[in-house]
Amino acid sequence: MDTDVTSPAAVTGRETKTLDRVVIRFAGDSGDGMQLTGNQFTNTTAIAGNDLSTLPDFPAEIRAPAGTLPGVSGFQIHFSSSDVFTPGDAPDVLVAMNPAALRVNLADLKKGGILIVNTDAFGPRDLEKAGLKVSPLEDGSLAGYRLFAVELSRLTKAALKETELNAKEIDRCKNFFALGMMYWLFNRSMDTTLRWIDEKFGKQPKFQQANALALKGGRAYCEATEVFHESYEIPPARLAPGRYKNISGNSALALGYVAASQKCGLPLFLGSYPITPASDILHELSMFKNFGVRTFQAEDEIAGIASAIGAAFGGALAITTTSGPGIALKTEAIGLATMVELPIVINNIQRGGPSTGLPTKTEQADLLQAMFGRNSEAPIPILAPCTPGDCFWIAFEAARIAIKYMVPVMVLSDGYLANGAEPWRVPDLSELPEVPVHFASDPATFKPYLRDPKTLSRPWAIPGTPDLEHRIGGLEKEDVTGNVSYDPVNHENMIHLRTEKVARVVQDIPDLVVNGEPSGKLLVVGWGSTYGAIVGAVSTLRAEGHAVSSIHLRHLNPFPGNLAEILSRFEKILIPEMNLGQLSMLIRARFLIDTIGYNKVQGKPFKEAEIRVRIMDLLESN
Amino acid sequence: MSASEKGPETPVLTKKDFVTDQEVRWCPGCGDYGILSAVQSVFPELGIPREKFVVVSGIGCAARFPYYMNTYGFHTIHGRAPAVATGLKVMRPDLDVWVVGGDGDLLSIGGNHLIHVLRRNVGLKILMFNNRIYGLTKGQYSPTSEFGKKTKSTPYGSVDRPFNTVSLALGAEATFVARTVDVFGAHLKEMLRRAAEHKGTAFVEIYQNCNIFNDGAFDYMREKEVRDDATLTLRHGQPLLFGKNHDKGIRVRESIPEVVTVGKDGVMEKDIMVHDERGPMATSFLLSRLTPPEFPTPIGVFRGQELEAYEDGMDKQIRDAVERRGAPDLRKLLDAGDTWTVQ
């Protein structure tokens, strides 16, 4: 393999500048391969040792009409030699493959930022499809940016003239030409991407050759011409020692459940119906067959969870994956799992709603659905990962709580965590939590609803165990015996027992740790994927000398045991959420205190700057 | 799986072993009693340890069945029993999983799960009690109620056309489809045994009388005096003959079935169609279209075709994957993909 790690500066005599952090956005048509380009740049950046965070942003349509505004697909990466908390507020570099991509994304680009444009896609028809009358390349509207007009299509064609590809196939390689240019600009090795090309196209030599040529062509173009006068270097970040890999939230969840299954010794079952943005978990888990993973693509959402409940009855670590609309359909079955007290994990990868809403965009507006979205009193534990990598640990935590307390557990991830990626330190096996399992086997002491005095969990007696034959079901059960009972006092007792059991999960979850002073004027409270933006904003302001603290909830039900006490030590509580104030409502109701909501429901995550501004407003007001 | 296996000295089981201490709460005279008794008689004959049986049900009168069977049991939610049972069977192919439901449960709210479990050929035995009415909700018409039926919710008669249950099951690619009747004790048990032997999904429709809300729904074919002329007992390899004198039969000419009498108009026994459970699907389907009053009601096994069961296919993929990629290794799993080391 042709490798080239020499600094281009050494070859060309051009200057290499060292930067601390950079935000790049790749934008093009859905068919231009922007997600792929972004992922390749991300993997290369991860291996170069930077801390990073990504935000893929693509339309719900698979192929909206080419060249139109709704068809624009983007991928943003923020990478740095120091800590990265979010995908970045505004890009320093924008790569725009067509006029539509330019029009949609230009407003976000920093003033003076680098703008790389494929001029071959700026013909009259291209402009018309993007709703433009005059080319922005000619009307002066790009004057505030460092514009690099590149004939990407023509250059790619020239680089691939010796290949057997037809014109259309050649044009589809232009994303790798652009990627090659970015590798030169940021002094990156092409090794990772060349290796990926070999693996991906190993059986189709003409595509393997073409993509490699396009990538190298882009880099060679920058080297040979003086399109860029300088290149940039972002030294590796000082991450904790260890082995790292780049991981998305959905991959981390999948990996976490396989690992939890291995640790607890129970085979993993996934019952699922495809839905954006959760389907990748099904795809990933379906590859782990040699770990005994059984994935069942069900006929609908209800069958997805129903099969998981059946698998749990049989003694599996059983999970289901979906998004908000799927949870709506699974609601009755979650009630059943609550009633029969079997352990399953329900993963809701939240998206914009209600109804079909914004399938590919992020939101965290299903918290109250998770808390209350069932008939009658049916509390369940709720967990929320805070970063893509944390999804691995949340999977473990969910499995552990479900099995220990014999209860369905809800995990609330979201589209941002699911598709976003970050460097993740691969844990040692010794760091993985134990997930103890006990199956009942003694007929002398077995009663289907005889509870553990500490956890209140009932025994797990799986079919096939001699002399423990028993019946479970959705009808109310008599305490201890599990026989059907319509007795009013027993019903009330069972309602209390199921509620108390979930409340007791608090004895098994860690106390919150305050980021910043333990008391003061302002506490920012977050949950789920807002972690990066909140911690980033709070860290920056604290470094500037402002007194602000934050906590982040990974356990939403029950809340950690020390939450009330922490809240009581601050004058003001700010809760940023991608909803209209759902955590605020829970905290107000539970603790009888006031909170200040900061609510954004635009299908996009918070920017650090937005939260910084809100915090400063509160610090400066009385 | 830590479920223990029974040793070779498995005790001989009797019907009594399958009776629970729960008081049976179906209406006196309900057809379900006869079915319960037949199932409790057949289970001990099957040579399967009691702890390996699981009875799964949805919602409805029939769905109370698990409470009366001294096996593992799961009374789930309306329509979803096939889906719950699928998850169980896929994880635990060692278990003998029976699904019990009514026509409302399995054909209406659970219709989607039923057709998909049939096409997948999951190794479940599905007993559908068809009484052509909603019993537990007190007398509304069901998806098998006849056109024009007057019920509480259709005082002017229903304008819905009913499912032909057997046609539906065959259309969903079922590998085993049978029909029997609650009061035909011997035949009912025979169908249960046949279902028990089948690998893949065994679907048995059981005509069942609801003496409260739809009494006499099947009198036209199950009463002693009409039974011989109104039913056609399907037997593999045997001609389709019926009637008191066993001289009436089904002849098929140019794909059109007709009732003929042997010895009349030159009809001979060789002209009568011979039943083949494993024949072309079109033939099985043709049998399912024999409906009264023109034809006798066929009972017995319409189709019994051996195809790999879903859970066996899944097991095979797992064994192959272990062979190809090696036994599970958590360390390797975590390290897989592009990684880098920070000192």
What values do phi and psi take at A8, rounded to 5?
-60, -25
> Does position B7 have pLDDT exceeding 90, yes or no?
no
Q: How many domains does chain B have?
A: 1
Question: pLDDT class for A11, splitting at 50, 70, 90?
Answer: low
| Mutation for B interface: A43, A291, A396, A485, most B CBs within 10 A | A291
Task: Evaluate whether residue A490 is within a structural domain.
Answer: no
Q: Mean pLDDT throughout B159-171?
A: 98
Q: Do A226 and A253 lie in a common domain?
A: no
Work out the minimum CA distance from A261 to partner chain B, whole angstroms. Answer: 10
Chain B residue numbers with beta carbons less than 8 Å from the beta carbon of A469 are: 50-51, 70-73
Peptide bond into A56 cis (omega under 30): no
Is position B51 within any domain? yes
- pLDDT tens per residue across span B126-142: 999 999 999 999 999 99
Confidence of residue A8 (pLDDT cuts 50, 70, 90): very low
State whether A316 and A274 are in the same domain.
Answer: yes
Chain-wide mean pLDDT for chain B? 95
Q: State whether A471 and B56 contact (CB < 8 Å).
A: no
Q: Which of the residues A462, A477, A486 would you substitute to probe the B interface, choosing the one with the greatest number of B C-beta atoms within 10 Å? A: A462
Residues A346 and A302 in one domain: yes
pLDDT tens per residue, range B227-241: 999 999 999 999 999
Mutation target to probe the A interface, by most A beta carbons within 10 A, among B13, B74, B96, B173 is B74
What percentage of chain A has pLDDT greater than the value 70?
Answer: 98
Interval A157-172 mean pLDDT: 93
Whether residue A450 is contained in a domain is answered as no
Q: Which candidate from A241, A262, A311 shows the least CB-CB separation from B88?
A: A311
- CB proximity A487 to B under 8 Å: no
Check if A546 contacts B (Cβ < 8 Å).
Answer: no
| Per-residue pLDDT at A3 exceeds 90 | no
A191 plus A49 within the same structural domain: yes
Say how far apart CA A65 and CA A364 lie, in whole Å: 30
Q: Are residues A274 and A172 in the same domain?
A: no
Which among A45, A122, A110, A115 is positioned nearest to A77, based on CA atoms? A45
> Would A529 be classed as within a structural domain?
yes
Q: Does residue B182 lie in a domain region?
A: yes
pLDDT of residue B4: 46
pLDDT at residue A5, as a whole number: 39
Shortest distance between the Cα of B264 and any Cα of chain A, in A, equals 52
**CB-based contact, A294 to chain B, within 8 Å:** yes
A398 within some domain: yes
What is the C-alpha separation between B34 and A231, in angstroms, rounded? Answer: 85
Tell me how many domains chain A contains. Answer: 3
Q: Which residue on chain B is closest to A430 by alpha carbon? A: B331
In a domain, B238, yes or no: no
Reported ipTM: the value is 0.96
Write down the pLDDT at residue A58: 86
- How many helices and strands, by DSSP H and E, does chain A display? 21, 22
Do residues A220 and A278 share a domain? no
CATH number, domain containing residue A111:
3.40.920.10
Q: For residue B35, what pLDDT band results from cuts at 50, 70 and 90? A: very high
Say whether both A254 and A395 belong to one domain.
Answer: yes
Tell me the Cα Rg of chain A: 27
Asked if A49 is an interface residue toward chain B (Cβ–Cβ < 8 A), one would say yes
Residue range A445-499, pLDDT digits in tens: 999 999 999 999 999 999 999 999 999 999 999 999 999 999 999 999 999 999 9
Residues A417 and A541 in one domain: no
Report helix, strand or coil for B278. Answer: coil
Residues A264 and A377 in one domain: yes
Range of the domain at A529: 520-620
Q: Do B83 and A303 touch (CB under 8 A)?
A: yes
Going by pLDDT thresholds of 50, 70 and 90, the confidence category of residue A357 is very high
Handedness of CA A394, A397, A401, A404 (dihedral sign): positive
Q: How far is B166 from chain A (nearest CA, A)?
A: 21
| HSE value, Cβ hemisphere, 13 Å, CA-based, for A276 | 19
Contact status, residue A187 vs residue A236, Cβ threshold 8 Å: no
From its phi and psi, is residue A376 left (phi > 0), alpha (psi between -120 and 50) or beta? left
What's the CATH code of the domain at A313? 3.40.50.970
Question: Of A204, A233, A262, which residue constitutes the final position of a domain?
Answer: A233
Boundary residue ending a domain (A372, A394, A426) = A426
Q: Is residue B227 part of a domain?
A: no
Confirm whether B166 is domain-assigned.
yes
The secondary structure of residue A62, as a DSSP letter, is S
If pLDDT is split at 50, 70 and 90, which confidence band does A14 have?
A: confident
Task: Report CB contact under 8 Å: B342, A466.
Answer: no
Q: Do B86 and A303 touch (CB under 8 A)?
A: yes
Are A225 and A359 in a shared domain? no
Gap between the Cα atoms of A175 and A214, Å rounded: 8
Confidence band of A125 (pLDDT split at 50, 70, 90): very high
pLDDT (mean) for A178-207: 95
| Chain A / chain B CB contacts < 8 angstroms | 220
| pLDDT classification of A60: cutoffs 50, 70, 90 | confident
The yes-or-no verdict on residue A296 having pLDDT over 70 is yes
Residue A165 has pLDDT above 70, yes or no: yes
A511 in a structural domain: no
CA distance A76 to A202: 29
How many Å lie between the alpha carbon of A107 and the closest alpha carbon of chain B? 35
pTM of the model: 0.93
Write down the pLDDT at residue A464: 98
Statement: residue B3 has pLDDT above 50: no
CA pair distance A597, A611, nearest whole angstrom: 11
Q: What share of chain A is helix, strand, coil (3-state, %, to 5)?
A: 40, 20, 40
Q: Kindly determine whether residue B51 and residue A441, on different chains, have CB atoms separated by under 8 Å.
A: no
Overall average pLDDT of the B50-79 stretch: 97
Confidence (pLDDT) at B2: 41
- A390-405 and A249-264 are packed helices; what angle lies between their axes, rounded to 10 degrees? 40
8 A C-beta contact, residue A33 and residue A21: no
Is A316 found in the same domain as A261? yes
From the list A241, A267, A467, which residue is nearest B91 (CB)? A267
Q: Does some domain include residue A331?
A: yes
Residue A454 lies in a domain: no
Per-residue pLDDT, averaged over B3-27, amounts to: 79
pLDDT per position as a tens digit, A530-547: 999 999 999 999 999 999
Chain A 223-252, residues with CB within 8 Å of chain B CB atoms? 236, 239-246
Taking the C-alpha atoms of residue B29 and residue B40, their distance in angstroms, rounded to an integer, is 18
pLDDT band at A12 (very low <50, low <70, confident <90, very high): low
What gap in Å lies between CA A58 and CA A277, rounded to an integer? 11
Residue type, B249: G
- Are A429 and B331 an interchain contact pair (Cβ–Cβ within 8 Å)? yes
Q: What residues contact A275, with CB distance under 8 A and at least 6 apart? A: A301, A322, A323, A325, A326
Residues A270 and A328 in one domain: yes
Any B CB within 8 A of A7 CB: no
Alpha-carbon distances, residue B133 vs B155, B162, B230 (angstroms)? 14, 11, 22
Domain range for B127: 15-217+308-319
Provide mean pLDDT across the span A69-94: 95
Q: Does A471 reach chain B within 8 Å, measured CB to CB?
A: yes
Structural domain contains residue A171: yes
Is a pLDDT exceeding 50 seen at residue A553? yes
What is the per-residue pLDDT for A63? 79
Of A208, A233, A258, which residue constitutes the final position of a domain? A233
**Torsion of the alpha carbons at A261, A262, A268 and A272, rounded to the nearest 10:** 70
Report the CATH number at residue B71. 3.40.50.970
Q: What is the pLDDT of residues A303-353, one digit of tens each?
A: 999 999 999 999 999 999 999 999 999 999 999 999 999 999 999 999 999
